[in-house]
């Protein structure tokens, strides 16, 4: 008598990749915030205030583009605020002390950010440090170097054309820095969604080992991703220097937390493999609207920190519950 046998070998689940990311939740949240603040303040729902919000979130938004790519591959970058400060101080030192033309100093400032990102990527890929530890070390070193360059002194006195990049609104709407931010968002969105190299980032975040077996050079992608995030921190540094008309070694303190928050609120998963630029844009706008609206209704800055921290906690909680349910 023959007995039928069944193969009970468990199959390994395939990594879940979500290139688009869910943006419905953040979009609904942003709409509700706008409705609430428009009812609470007569000044909120105006073109002038909307343009002010865009101006205010430009630096955060540029940083968030790089952080999105880092989080998609399953990493984290705690150094972006310090890299921003170092890039800003390097640009100012090269222009004011070394005597380089300001455009050349701007380019080298961005290159400084890229070099910092490359160091972080190298510590992760070759020294095999966890991303948290590697970027924490770079955060400390970069902040120290930013202060060493000018002995902790700020650099002031940039030409009017430079500050005009952030203060002059062309055709009454967007400044050059806001335009650069929008263009970078569009380019990053196209790259992640429609380019094979962009989609490979999701594969790495879903499962680095499976991505490696599929022929993806995980080390190279990690290096390039962190270098790109550092370069974007350099672009954000130029933008902030134009807004402040100065370079300050204390710039960017704590902004890495807002940057991570914007990406997570936008639907990216800290476990990797999930995220989108559209979601990140919504997350950036949510933080910008929260700060702007709370200021308009006279809420204390200290309580604003409590509110934004609570929003971050809720976003991470929903992400964790959603992943466990799936």
In contact, 297 and 37? CB cutoff 8 Å:
yes
Q: Is residue 6 part of a domain?
A: no
In contact, 200 and 211? CB cutoff 8 Å:
yes
Give mean pLDDT in consecutive 10-residue pieces for the chain, a chain of 326 residues: 43 45 80 92 90 94 97 96 97 93 96 97 96 96 95 92 92 89 96 94 94 94 97 97 94 92 90 92 94 89 83 74 65
Q: What is the pLDDT, as a whole number, of residue 111?
A: 97
Q: What is the pLDDT, as a whole number, of residue 315?
A: 73
Q: What is the pLDDT, as a whole number, of residue 122?
A: 97
Q: What is the dihedral of CA 73, 142, 54, 290, to 10 degrees?
A: 80
Q: What is the pLDDT, as a whole number, of residue 130?
A: 96
- Helical spans, DSSP H, in the chain: 24-40, 47-72, 80-96, 102-125, 131-149, 160-167, 176-194, 196-206, 208-213, 218-244, 255-265, 277-296, 301-325
Q: What is the pLDDT, as a whole number, of residue 1?
A: 43
Which pTM does this prediction carry?
0.90
Q: What is the pLDDT, as a whole number, of residue 247?
A: 94
Domains contained in the chain, number: 1
Q: Is residue 36 part of a domain?
A: no
* CATH number where 217 lies: 1.10.3470
Q: Is residue 67 part of a domain?
A: yes
Tokens of 196: 């094979």
Give the structural domain span for 273. 24-31+46-325
Q: What is the pLDDT, as a whole number, of residue 307?
A: 82
Tokens 């934004």 — which residue? 308
Under DSSP, is residue 222 helix (H, G, I), strand (E, B) or coil?
A: helix
Q: What is the pLDDT, as a whole number, of residue 313?
A: 80
Q: What is the pLDDT, as a whole number, of residue 301?
A: 82
């Amino acid at each position: 008598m023959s007995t039928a046998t069944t193969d009970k070998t468990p199959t390994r689940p395939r990594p879940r990749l979500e290139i688009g990311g869910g943006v419905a939740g953040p979009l609904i949240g942003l709409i509700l915030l706008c409705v609430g603040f428009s009812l609470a303040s007569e000044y909120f729902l105006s073109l002038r205030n909307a343009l002010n919000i865009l101006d205010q979130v430009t630096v955060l938004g540029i940083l968030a583009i790089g952080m999105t790519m880092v989080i998609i591959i399953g990493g984290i970058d705690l150094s972006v605020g310090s890299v921003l400060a170092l890039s800003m101080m390097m640009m100012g030192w090269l222009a004011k002390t070394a005597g380089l033309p300001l455009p050349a100093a701007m380019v080298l400032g961005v290159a400084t950010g890229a070099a910092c990102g490359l160091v972080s990527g190298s510590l992760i890929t070759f020294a095999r440090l966890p991303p948290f530890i590697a970027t924490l070390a770079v955060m400390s070193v970069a902040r120290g170097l930013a202060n060493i360059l000018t002995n902790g002194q700020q650099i002031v006195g940039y030409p009017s054309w430079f500050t005009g990049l952030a203060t002059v609104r062309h055709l009454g709407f967007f400044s050059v820095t806001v335009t650069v931010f929008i263009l970078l968002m569009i380019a990053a969105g196209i790259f992640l969604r429609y380019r094979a190299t962009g989609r490979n980032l999701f594969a790495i975040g879903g499962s680095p080992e499976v991505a490696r077996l599929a022929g993806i050079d995980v080390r190279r992608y990690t290096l390039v991703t962190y270098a790109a995030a550092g370069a974007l921190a350099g672009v954000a540094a130029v933008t902030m220097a134009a807004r402040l008309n100065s370079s300050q070694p204390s710039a960017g303190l704590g902004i890495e937390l807002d940057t991570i928050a914007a990406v997570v609120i936008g639907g990216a998963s800290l476990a990797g493999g999930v995220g989108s630029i559209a979601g990140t844009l919504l997350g950036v706008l949510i933080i910008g609207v929260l700060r702007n609206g709370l200021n308009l209704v006279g809420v204390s800055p200290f309580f604003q920190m409590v509110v934004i921290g609570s929003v971050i906690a809720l976003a991470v909680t929903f992400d964790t519950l959603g992943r466990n349910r799936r």
